[in-house]
Structure 1
Amino acid sequence: MIRSSSSPSRRSAVGLGVGVAAVAAVFYTLLAIGRWRAGNSANYDLGIFAQGADAWSRGQWPESHIRGLSLLGDHFSPLLASWGALWHFWPTPPTLLITQAVLLAAALGVIVAYTRRVAGLRVALLVAVVGLLSRAVLTTAMFDVHEVAYAAIALAVLCIALLQHRFGWAVAASVWLLLTKEDMGLTVFAAGACWWWMHRGDGWRRPLVLAGLGVAGVIVAMLVLGAFAPGSGTGYLAYFGIGSSNKLPVPEDHSLSPQRLLPVLMYVVTALGIGVRSKLTVLAIPTLLWRAASSNIHYWALDFHYDLVLWPIGLLAFVDVCRKGLPRLRSRSGVVVSIATVASLVLGVAELQQRAVTPASTFRTAPVVRDIRALAGERLPKGAKVATQMDVGPYLVPRYDVYSLRPDQRPRVDYVMFTDKERWTYQVPVCARERLVAAGAQVWRRGIVTLVKLPSAQVVTPTC
């Protein structure tokens, strides 16, 4: 990927990239496993993807009882079959957490190695620190797993291919992106426009190939989603006024809220302000547009994984502008970079504090996790069908057939398990928990964890 005029320069760039990637892999793994052992992993999305990996490992299409459908009807992410291969050797959710940490670290390593080669050591070290502690990547590393972890490294390669005029690498990265998620086709289409803008002397063939790949990728993804999804289409289009709802309990807002611009601000911060001048910013436009146009308020927020695809683009856009080195501190550009750097680090540290996760968490198992495992081991027969509250499911996969204890799912199960955590996303109401306990044939409690055996297999709805 990296052109060099001398072997020592290449070796120093690669060496720095590998070193940063190694540090990042350890750091992100400690954060992810710390959150797992603290009992903060969830059905959405670790439990879902764990069930998908389990299915892939058995040579089946990825299906999740927690999600209530085939995962190929939820998102077009055939690249996740690789999780199935890893699951075959180590069938436990931390496998996915560690894999994601390595993917994120590898993306940062590629970015830093390229930066060292074209912009020097000072810029590379700045990018390494800002990239490592960016809120965009920390939210992904600490909030279970997501398919877009695969997109980060592909986007890094795509950006470098565009900057280095490497069409073969651009095509390879684009195909990788198309196999990651359905919306990546829009980014690949933008890569065609970006190639034309950067390399007009090439003519139209290469940009049209990239744009055509993007369009074909979207069409194929929609056809596959339609074949696997109930109702012949992805429900996520409902957030854009197209089709019917996918029944996810996500708050919607159809007003022109200024919060829609938060992803734009996040991109500006990630690009350290001056990076927005780079032509690579074209790659960020499709993601920024569809997030702003959606009625799903989670797409606007900075607390989820949606900013990850902007992360490599923003960092490399900054590098593109700083090829001749960092701007002088007292210059206008220097002031902008300084302010954006501080803002980026503050946002990252705030995310660590909000998630209440530190690397030290990796070495302590929370009582709630021990209680979930103990109750299941003592009372649940292997393969039992159990509906779980959001914070329980991943700790029971793959030994048990786990479903989601939510009103919109209505699973038919033999057991129900939930916790009494004071604060948790999609917590089962107290009155609903009391009803489930009252209706149970047997009830076992351990700490804040409750397991209920139902009189017979039945549909459960956690409503009052």
Structure 2
Amino acid sequence: MAMQAPPTDTTTRPQQQSDFENQAEAKPSHRSRSEVAWWMWVLAGALFCAYTALSLRIHQRMLTRSYDLGIFEQVVRSYADGHLPVSELKAPDFAVLGDHFSPVLALVAPLYWLWRSANALLVMQAALLAASVLPLMVWARRRLGAKAAAVIGVSYGVSWGIASGVGFDFHEVAFAVPLLACSLTALGSDRLRAAAYWALPLLLVKEDLGLTVAVIGLVIAWRGDRKLGIITASAGLAGSLLTLLVVLPALNPSGSFAYWFWLDSPGGSEGGLTDLLYKSTIGLITPQAKVSTFLLLLAPTLFLALRSPLLWIALPTLLWRFASGNEFHWGTSWHYSLVLMPIVFAAYIDALIRRRPSTSSLRRYLAGSAAVSFLLLPQFSLWQLVQPATWRTDPRVAVAHSLMDRIPDGATVQASNNLGPQLTNRTSVSVYGYPDSRPNPEWIMVDTWVPGDRRWPLNIIEEKISLDRARAQGYRTVADRDGYVLLSRTG
């Protein structure tokens, strides 16, 4: 990740040039540079279809979760209904802007008006992620050629970080992915003002992304526009500090910001200065999962991304993740690598441009990059698209929906984690067994056959005791079929 000087003017190059350099210098007109080739739209469309098919199929099989898809649907439903976002899944009338500052989610509301379903969020996410491939391919085509752009687009589109996000519900950081792709491609092309304009909306996506904006500003300053860079960096830093220290504590029901990941020890308690010092030094590379994640991030680029200063823009996200006391942040699962993939691939393109390889060398780099991306593919979510089990429907799904249909619209419900997203569009739902759930709901629906690795927050024994207690407190059993228990409060 060493800072390198910007490329010198092409007039200083030697007379003897590679095919790659000749191609790079044969720049098209401004009009043609701004156009997206038809095959790029086809590739982006294919990725959109793949992402959408996988996301919707996971939801149809009832493998999505209240944490997080249900929460985000409640947020979008709040915006669509014309009020500030709350989530019953977090706690009764919980103000979500006090949890994470993501007002960008209001942009999903128009689609939700047309399609009042969690599916609307999943389709929106698929569109955002698929769109992010376009600026990367346009830049790569302009400087490396069409074939290189196509290989990079495919490698990025099937990369494990994108796949992990697609396979795990919906998240607000999906909005950051195309913004980062546009900002970094502009930055790599020395369109510094455009880079700043694309970066600043990240402040509305999530509170930590202001630090990413700050680093983008520093790179802008280093590349030549010191004034614009300092303004951008200051805006990013001020935005994060304002949301972290003022907005979130003011809106959080507990009066404090609950997600100081870097202060929480692995056991969940504050470890003091010694623990903080450990996490900011040796703790950044231990345990091994952190190093593995970093290596896997760079592997699809054959580690060439390290040669680009654009990779510095990944530093804030890597630091908070690896300093976190939450082990889920360290690895390659979930959605936490979504924002890193456009940064890594933009750095890869920039490194190839700086390296100026011969045609044969460029082909080897691209072949290696594609090979790594496809070799990793079976380990992550997109591989489910070619698995027969993905397209088989468990008969229990129909049973679950037939029982959920008996719950009236607007009712208060406590439901199993996997059932919540099926109910968030029309009921006030919270997670069964979660301590902060709304007490005494009108309805309870529990999937008692959920596998142990997906069971949360109660284990099998705790769940049975809790259901018996509910019946003793006056809930009657409306149905008990194929592992689904539906209870209704009497009186």
Q: If the length of structure 1 is used for normalisation, what is the TM-score?
A: 0.87
> Which of 243, 256, 259 is residue 221 of structure 1 equivalent to?
243
Deviations 1:176-197 (A, max 9, x none): 1111011101101111121123
Deviations 1:4-23 (A, max 9, x none): 62378547743233222111
Letter in 2 for 1:45: D
> Which of 84, 95, 98 is residue 120 of structure 2 equivalent to?
95
> Which of 78, 82, 101 is residue 55 of structure 1 equivalent to?
78
Equivalent positions of 1:344-355 (< 5 A) are 344-352=373-381
Q: Give the C-alpha shift of residue 174 in structure 1.
A: 1.8
Q: Does 1:320 align with 2:350?
A: yes
> Which of 414, 426, 432 is residue 442 of structure 2 equivalent to?
414
Are 1:13 and 1:117, in contact at CA under 8 Å, matched by a contact in 2? no
Cα distance in 2 for residues equivalent to 1:11 and 1:225: 40
More moved, 98-107 vs 258-267 = 258-267
SS in 1 for 2:316: helix
Counterpart for residue 304 of structure 1? 334
Q: Does 1:385 align with 2:415?
A: no
Q: Give the C-alpha shift of residue 324 in structure 1.
A: 7.6
Deviations 1:365-388 (A, max 9, x none): 54333222210213x222111111
SS in 2 for 1:72: helix
> Which of 385, 390, 399 is residue 371 of structure 1 equivalent to?
399
More moved, 89-98 vs 160-169 = 160-169
Aligned length: 441
Cα distance in 2 for residues equivalent to 1:4 and 1:80: 39
Q: 1:228 to 1:80 in 2, by over 3 A?
A: same
Counterpart for residue 462 of structure 1? none
Counterpart for residue 37 of structure 1? 60
Are 1:272 and 1:341, in contact at CA under 8 Å, matched by a contact in 2? no
SS in 2 for 1:234: coil
Letter in 2 for 1:214: G
What is the root-mean-square deviation of aligned Cα atoms in Å? 2.9
Q: Give the C-alpha shift of residue 230 in structure 1.
A: 2.2
Equivalent positions of 1:268-283 (< 5 A) are 268-283=298-313
Cα distance in 2 for residues equivalent to 1:110 and 1:330: 25
Q: Give the C-alpha shift of residue 215 in structure 1.
A: 1.1
Cα distance in 2 for residues equivalent to 1:296 and 1:367: 36
Cα distance in 2 for residues equivalent to 1:63 and 1:156: 30
Q: Does 1:445 align with 2:489?
A: no
Equivalent positions of 1:220-259 (< 5 A) are 220-222=242-244, 223-241=246-264, 256-259=286-289
SS in 2 for 1:323: helix
Q: Does 1:161 align with 2:189?
A: no
Deviations 1:208-237 (A, max 9, x none): 011111112112322221121123232110
Structure 2 residue runs of 5 or longer lacking an equivalent are 1-25, 270-277
Cα distance in 1 for residues equivalent to 2:370 and 2:35: 25
Q: Give the C-alpha shift of residue 49 in structure 1.
A: 0.6
SS in 2 for 1:452: strand
Are 1:280 and 1:313, in contact at CA under 8 Å, matched by a contact in 2? yes
Cα distance in 1 for residues equivalent to 2:253 and 2:146: 52
Q: 1:25 to 1:326 in 2, by over 3 A?
A: farther
SS in 2 for 1:280: helix
Cα distance in 1 for residues equivalent to 2:357 and 2:394: 47
Q: If the length of structure 2 is used for normalisation, what is the TM-score?
A: 0.82
Cα distance in 2 for residues equivalent to 1:428 and 1:177: 37
SS in 2 for 1:451: strand
Q: Does 1:403 align with 2:430?
A: yes
SS in 2 for 1:181: coil
Cα distance in 1 for residues equivalent to 2:360 and 2:207: 44
Are 1:299 and 1:306, in contact at CA under 8 Å, matched by a contact in 2? yes
Are 2:89 and 2:437, in contact at CA under 8 Å, matched by a contact in 1? no
Are 1:119 and 1:325, in contact at CA under 8 Å, matched by a contact in 2? no
SS in 1 for 2:239: helix
Counterpart for residue 461 of structure 1? none
Are 2:173 and 2:205, in contact at CA under 8 Å, matched by a contact in 1? yes
Q: Give the C-alpha shift of residue 56 in structure 1.
A: 0.4
Q: 1:359 to 1:165 in 2, by over 3 A?
A: farther
% of aligned pairs identical?
A: 28
Are 1:235 and 1:245, in contact at CA under 8 Å, matched by a contact in 2? no
Q: 1:217 to 1:291 in 2, by over 3 A?
A: same
Higher CA-based Rg: 2
SS in 1 for 2:76: helix
Letter in 1 for 2:476: Q
> Which of 23, 28, 39 is residue 5 of structure 1 equivalent to?
28
SS in 1 for 2:376: helix
Counterpart for residue 186 of structure 1? 211
Are 1:261 and 1:292, in contact at CA under 8 Å, matched by a contact in 2? no
Are 2:164 and 2:333, in contact at CA under 8 Å, matched by a contact in 1? yes
Structure 1 residue runs of 5 or longer lacking an equivalent are 247-252, 457-464
Counterpart for residue 147 of structure 1? 172
Are 1:281 and 1:314, in contact at CA under 8 Å, matched by a contact in 2? yes
More moved, 139-148 vs 125-134 = 125-134
